[in-house]
Amino acid sequence: MIILLGVAVLVLGYPLGKFLAHITKEELAAGQRWFKLIILLSIIGAIVGLILNIDVLFFSFLFFAIVTSRSLISKKQKVR
């Protein structure tokens, strides 16, 4: 049951990231390298959560990575 809830929250991270990119255009331009650092640290945290078999840690860090990466992808698509 926890796994299904985690996957549902991860799926909600996709539209949330797109929404955040829409309302925070200025912050995305100024803090792009920090967003990339957040993505990297989130992926590392998710791997640690997977190795330690802590589902909450795993899904939390994946959620951060998805929301942040979706925000960056939305910004890059609008520039083109």
pLDDT beyond 70 at 74: no
pLDDT category of residue 42 using cuts at 50, 70 and 90: very high
Residue given tokens 């792009």 in the structure block: 32
Segment 31-56 mean pLDDT: 91
Tell me the residue range of the domain where 43 lies: 2-79
Tell me what pLDDT residue 12 has.
86
Give the Cα separation of 67 and 77 in Å (integer): 15
- pTM reported for the whole predicted model: 0.80
Q: Which residues, 6+ apart, have CB-to-CB distance to 46 below 8 Å?
A: 57, 58, 61, 62, 65
Tell me what pLDDT residue 6 has.
80
What 8-state DSSP symbol labels residue 16? H
Q: How many domains does the chain fold into?
A: 1
Give pLDDT tens digits for 26-39: 766 677 888 889 99
The lowest-confidence range among 3-7, 36-40, 65-69 is 3-7
Tell me what pLDDT residue 49 has.
93
